[in-house]
Chain A
Amino acid sequence: MIQLADVSYAYPDSGRFVLEHVDLRIEPGTITGVVGASGAGKTTLAKILSGFIPHVDGGQLSGSVVIGGRDLSGLPLAACVSQVGLVIQNPFNQISGARYTVRGELAFGMENLGTPRDEMASRVAEVAGLLRITDLLDRSPYELSGGQQQLVAIASMLVLRTPVLVMDEPTSQLDPVGTRMVFGVLSRLRGAGTTIVVFEHKPELLHAHADRLHVLAGRRIAASGSPGEILSDPRTDQWGVSATRYTRAARLAREQGLVPAEAPLPVSFEQAAAFFGWSARTRPPSPEDAR
């Protein structure tokens, strides 16, 4: 379990707290989404959860960050990174620059941690297969597109098999197919017991895959709940969180008096179908019907 209690943080020499009195509890073997506007402190929270704050970035951190019963501030960074994997936002910077092929890049972290050669090869093959990048293994990481680099960056952390995975906007450069594939892989990892914390902006995918969402706004956790509760909350615009297309359509319908004001807002397609009273009977005629 991950537990943050009364965590506040200010970057070195800034004197301004970017997070204040953050309390967060994350159950093991779950996918937790953290949403919030740009500049809300998501990257900072990701670094706190992975131990890079205060070990690398320094600054003023108060409160406690406990993962698996151990306070991260009392552990050396090497011990933190063996517990928590961090996928950073910019895949270009996740690539080490020390290896000349994607295969070598994926193995880089395992080499540092002393993983036996045979195991490295099998983990690389397994993760490359999962993320469908096997055909890229012999190419240079710097010859890849942004989306391919992002898959390599994710794969480079998955091979380390840390019990906790913190991902800061891991699909920002991926196309819709790649994004769905990554979330599918995350769901499989959750099934295998990995705890995943994902900082994302894509509401449909968070609703489909996350067990719980937390909203970061005003330097603290402004709301927590199931994805359905958070994404249908009327305060999403105020938090800088995008609602799903179904929720937006339902809000519009409600504003125009097309649906009852008290009906709960839908988040998914299935809920929207029920909300709008769609059925095979009521759907608009299709070209096939006309024929």
Chain B
Amino acid sequence: MTRAQFVGTGSPVHRLNPVTKLVALLSILVIVFALPQWWVSAIVVVGVLLPAAVIARCGGPLIAVGGRILLPIVVVLVLVQGLTFPGGRTMVWQWGVLSVTAEGLLFALNVGARIVCLVLASVLLVLTTHPGDLMSALTEAGMSPKFSYIISSTLQLIPAFRSRADAILLAQQARGLAVPRNPLRRIGVMMPLLGPLVLGMFTDVEERGTAMEARGFGSTARRTALEAIPDSTAQRVARWVMPLVAVAAVVVPLVWEVL
């Protein structure tokens, strides 16, 4: 979840409290996995996620990013489950040893619909929630600032360290290192560069630790936040109701089965 994926349109969905969106995502995941029928996931996608994406003006990026993730998964799922589902009896199509059964396709549809729902809901959260706002909101909600820092700094420092690796590579190339096009040989050539990169990272981590302490990171004072995180009574209520619905989706079918 990098900042580059965030699409800041300032829509009502963007303006929701990030914790509300996170709770909604987790509740959706629990519901679609507790109720494994494909139509439950379809209702969530069509009734909740797509309208939210339209309101957030993120429909295009959602389809583009979600599609890139989902296409290979769905194709593999349909092929594997459709062709090899062990309990399949109702033949839909057969060619030699290959056969597609209705039971296999239904299983693929049930699993695929849940994965589509999971991926689209997660991508929508990423597209509409700035990671900095999410961390601030989670810290305000009681998450340890140190844990929040680990997540934020990892997201930001990985690209920064990638730039440093590029700089080391450039420096070596300037001194005559030939970087082959073949990926395997390229990895072999780059292995000796790991030393300076890793050692540099250790030094950086130590120095950054000093700089963080100099700015009161270890302070026990009650932390404040520069930016106010938007919230409302309706959202606070929703953050209770959504998990309750999710719990009901797990409990009601079990009770139904027992009765």
Using a CB–CB cutoff of 8 Å, the interface residues on chain A facing chain B are 47, 50, 52, 56, 77-78, 81-82, 85-86, 88, 90, 92-101, 103-104, 107-117, 120-121, 124, 140, 142, 153, 156-157, 160
Contact = CB atoms under 8 A, between A and B. Distances in A.
Contact of A78 (B157, B219, B226, B228): B219
Interface in B134-167: 135, 145, 148-149, 152-153, 156-157, 159-160
Contact of B156 (A90, A93, A94, A142): A142
B226 A117 contact: yes
B231 interface: no
Contacts of B212: 96
Interface in B65-112: none
A112 B214 contact: no
Nearest to B154: A97
Contacts of A115: 224
Interface residues of B, number: 37
Given A117-B225, A117-B228, A121-B226, A157 B156 contact: no
Contacts of A112: 145, 215-217, 219, 221, 223
Contacts of A47: 210
A81 B208 contact: no
28 contacts: A47-B210, A56-B213, A78-B216, A81-B214, A81-B215, A81-B216, A86-B211, A88-B211, A90-B204, A93-B204, A93-B211, A96-B215, A97-B149, A97-B153, A98-B148, A98-B153, A100-B131, A101-B132, A108-B215, A111-B223, A112-B145, A112-B221, A113-B221, A114-B224, A117-B225, A142-B159, A153-B211, A156-B215
A50 B214 contact: yes
Interface of B: 3, 130-132, 135, 145, 148-149, 152-153, 156-157, 159-160, 204, 207-228
